[in-house]
A and B are shown apart, each in its own frame.
Chain A
Amino acid sequence: MTTADPAGVLAGTHFLDGDQACCEGALAAGSRFSAGYPITPSTEIVERFAQRVPLCGGLFLQMEDELASSIAIQGAVWAGKKAFTVTSGPGFSLMMEHIGYAAMTEAPLVIVNVQRGGPSTGLPTLPGQGDMMQARWGSHGDYAIIALSPESPQECFDLTVEAFNLSEQYRVPVLFMMDECVGHMTEKVVIPPADQIRIVPRRFTTLPPGEYKPFRPGPDGVPDMAKAGDGYHLHVTGLTHNEQGYPAPTVEGQKNSIPRLLAKIRDNAEKIARWQEKYMDDAEIVVVAYGITARVALRAVEMARAQGVRAGLLRPVVIWPFPEARIRELAARDSVKAFIVPEMNYGQMVLEVERLVGRAKPTVLMPHAGGTVHRPEDILKVILEQKKEVGA
């Protein structure tokens, strides 16, 4: 654990949109390398980075497409840099193979997705939250990632730093799932001084070449890293590999590596999981929402409270892994009667809530095709309906 390099920290109180705040978060986290391909509504992040990073001794590389961007950053990671790329839905789809490559090769990096309405070209300038399951499952095979979902420009800063930290700690790709609203919303953003920003440095090995095995896990299941040019003669492959990094595409090799890749996250899921609650102590109707939708939902919860209905809000901040234990606890509470999940898609994270709540209590999806946020009044209406139905 260390603190941020002051060169990248624009300490002070600012008026920034989420995209700009995310860029400042990456710089504060110590990223000095990004490769990207322009795509609305994420482009402002790399525009700002391209302007800012040369002053901090780094570079932005505009690549020919998102496939190139998402692998160029992995070249930079193996050169020892903290690196990230930025995109939106169509580009995110193109990056899926390299999310798998990063998971398989345990490359710490951050991919920012400022979500817009989909599928396909969809709604380039308008919000959506339709990539949440893709973030978890989009690349082929079994792997685990971490994903975060900010609800404000302030969180775009804070959680981008956290995204880099988590990627270094667990050596996984971390997906930063913004949405167009949060990306283009301008609010006060406080950037603390560098010595108050906690940074997880790259876990470089201290073993000499010969003793070091690049994929031998440490006590926490995560291997220490080395970088190209340090004399370790590393071999890194997307094939199933052994601790030496050599291909081991066999039943045995698969058994020795894939469960560990999953366990890095699964065994630490409750430690990584993070959420915020409002009005939950006596809540009968629990609204689960994330990103911009959580802010709309909070308004609805407060409107319900004003009418004497005991509604509460649970906002997952880390989306993957999902706050499983907490949702199970709430579902087991006698006082909790129903769950409502508004999201800007036709039912993605609601599947997790349903799975955790089970059949004993209703879980109600409030879908939205995207393009704009839910109306608080509509969420309120469903809260009141549920209140009536479950007789709470």
Chain B
Amino acid sequence: MSAELKVIPPNPVEGFLRSDRMPHIWCPGCGIGTTVNCFARALLQSKLDLTNVAVVSGIGCTGRVSGYLNLDSFHTTHGRAIPFATGLKLANPDLQVVVYSGDGDLIAIGGNHFIHAARRNVDLKVVCINNFTYGMTGGQLAPTTPVSAISTTTPYGGYEQPFNLPYLAESSGAIYVARWTTFHVRQITHSMTEAFKKKGFSFIEIITPCPTLYERRNRLGDGLDMMKYFKENSVVRHGAPTREVDIGLHGPITVGKFVDRERPDFQELMTRQIGRTLEALAAEREPSGGGEYVAG
């Protein structure tokens, strides 16, 4: 039996990381690293050809994810991960393009791109780490910060209505929408593997602690307290109407797979439409007339 023992790498996802860049910048108790682990496991389980996987991030704590993954990885400008990824994907449709960024990056400064990419159904897998705040800059109000939460720019408590991200994603056209917390590591991995199989704009929101800048300021405890909170307060409701899944400062967090539908993606619609039109034009002309449309 001992003859069959092989040297096992200490961590099955180590090869997915740029270990020459460790240690990472994330704080103790931060959930971003947990999600990266889930992502690496999802890549492993999905048996994707890693040569064709590209990760695009914007700016912020989550924006640093791209730099730690041993893949083609692009750390772009603030808010613009999605349009960069759109160009990358449409210029090389063989790539599996993942956008990995934070709530401020994707939904505030990048919100316009988010809704338009969802509307177009560009084949992007968007992972949004939602920690309810701007971590990198020290804990300011985000478009996801719950009403009455304290941030450095709402020192008396917030009063803006936050976005409900799954609702926004679904109504903008996403074909796959799920939400988990960093407590749900297996579910996150599973949702990512499902999203890899979809062809179109897929959105996974991951509720993540920022103990340093959000929980501490709002007296919600440390990283471990948040894991307990996520465990005790998460309610799994697959297929829940997304309009009902708002998150408050306290109270339950609805998680699960909310949307899983089919709709032709941008590439398919474009190829079909332009191809059909050019064929019709060519048919009207002489047999030699017209051009041949080649997708991509």
Contact = CB atoms under 8 A, between A and B. Distances in A.
B95 A236 contact: no
A295 B52 CA distance: 51
B72 A61 contact: no
Contacts of A69: 83
Interface in A26-65: 33, 35, 54-57, 59, 61, 63-65
A235 interface: yes
Contacts of B296: 57, 59
A3 B90 CA distance: 26
A330 B84 CA distance: 46
A137 interface: no
B91 A71 contact: no
Contact of B90 (A55, A61, A227): A61
Given A55-B293, A57-B296, A67 B91 contact: no
Interface in B61-88: 66-67, 70-77, 79-80, 83-88
Interface centre among B85, B91, B113, B278 (most CB of A within 10 A): B91
A236 B75 contact: yes
B74 A78 contact: yes
B5 interface: no
Contact of A235 (B51, B66, B85, B91): B66
B291 interface: yes
A248 to B, nearest CB: 11
A75 interface: yes
B274 interface: yes
Contact of B86 (A75, A77, A80, A232): A75
A237 interface: yes
A63 B294 CA distance: 21
A184 interface: no
B238 interface: no
B18 interface: yes
Nearest to B92: A79
Given A63-B83, A236-B75, A238-B77, A75 B91 contact: yes
B76 to A, nearest CB: 6
B5 to A, nearest CB: 30
Contacts of A227: 92
A175 to B, nearest CB: 18
A229 interface: yes
A181 interface: no
A247 B54 contact: no
A75 B88 contact: yes
Nearest to A234: B72
A76 B97 CA distance: 12
Contacts of A247: 67, 75
A35 B83 CA distance: 10
Contacts of B76: 71, 74, 101, 238
Measured as residues with beta carbon below 8 angstroms from the partner, the interface class of chain B is 35 or more
B89 interface: yes
B51 A33 contact: no
A76 B87 contact: yes
A228 interface: yes
A311 B13 CA distance: 73
Nearest to A63: B83
B88 A78 contact: yes
B112 interface: yes
B74 A68 contact: no
B92 A228 contact: yes
Contacts of A233: 70-73
A239 B83 contact: no
Nearest to A55: B291
A68 B71 contact: no
A83 interface: yes
A79 B86 CA distance: 11
A59 B95 contact: no
Contacts of B294: 57
Given A97-B77, A233-B71, A68 B91 contact: no
Contacts of B278: 54-55
A75 B84 contact: yes
A72 interface: yes
Interface string B39-57: 0000000000001101010
B73 A234 contact: yes
Contacts of A235: 18, 66-67, 73-75
Contacts of B291: 54-56
A229 B83 contact: no
Interface centre among B18, B84, B278, B292 (most CB of A within 10 A): B84
A79 to B, nearest CB: 4
A229 B54 contact: yes
B92 A72 contact: no
B114 to A, nearest CB: 10
Contacts of A98: 77, 80
A103 interface: no
B21 interface: yes
A68 B113 contact: yes
Contact of A72 (B75, B83, B94): B83
Contacts of A68: 80, 83, 86, 112-113, 116
Contact of A67 (B73, B80, B92, B270): B80
Interface in B240-296: 270, 274, 278, 291-294, 296
A64 B22 CA distance: 37
A229 B77 contact: no
A212 interface: no
25 contacts: A54-B278, A56-B291, A57-B296, A61-B87, A63-B83, A63-B116, A68-B83, A68-B112, A69-B83, A72-B86, A74-B87, A75-B84, A75-B87, A78-B72, A81-B91, A97-B77, A101-B76, A233-B71, A235-B73, A236-B75, A237-B66, A237-B67, A239-B75, A247-B67, A247-B75
Top 7 nearest A-B pairs (CB, nearest first) are A75-B87, A55-B291, A75-B88, A72-B87, A79-B91, A68-B83, A76-B91
Interface of A: 33, 35, 54-57, 59, 61, 63-65, 67-69, 71-81, 83, 97-98, 101, 227-239, 246-247
Given A63-B86, A81-B91, 18 more contacts: A33-B87, A33-B90, A63-B83, A67-B79, A68-B116, A72-B87, A74-B76, A75-B74, A76-B91, A78-B88, A80-B92, A83-B87, A83-B91, A227-B92, A228-B95, A229-B94, A234-B72, A247-B67
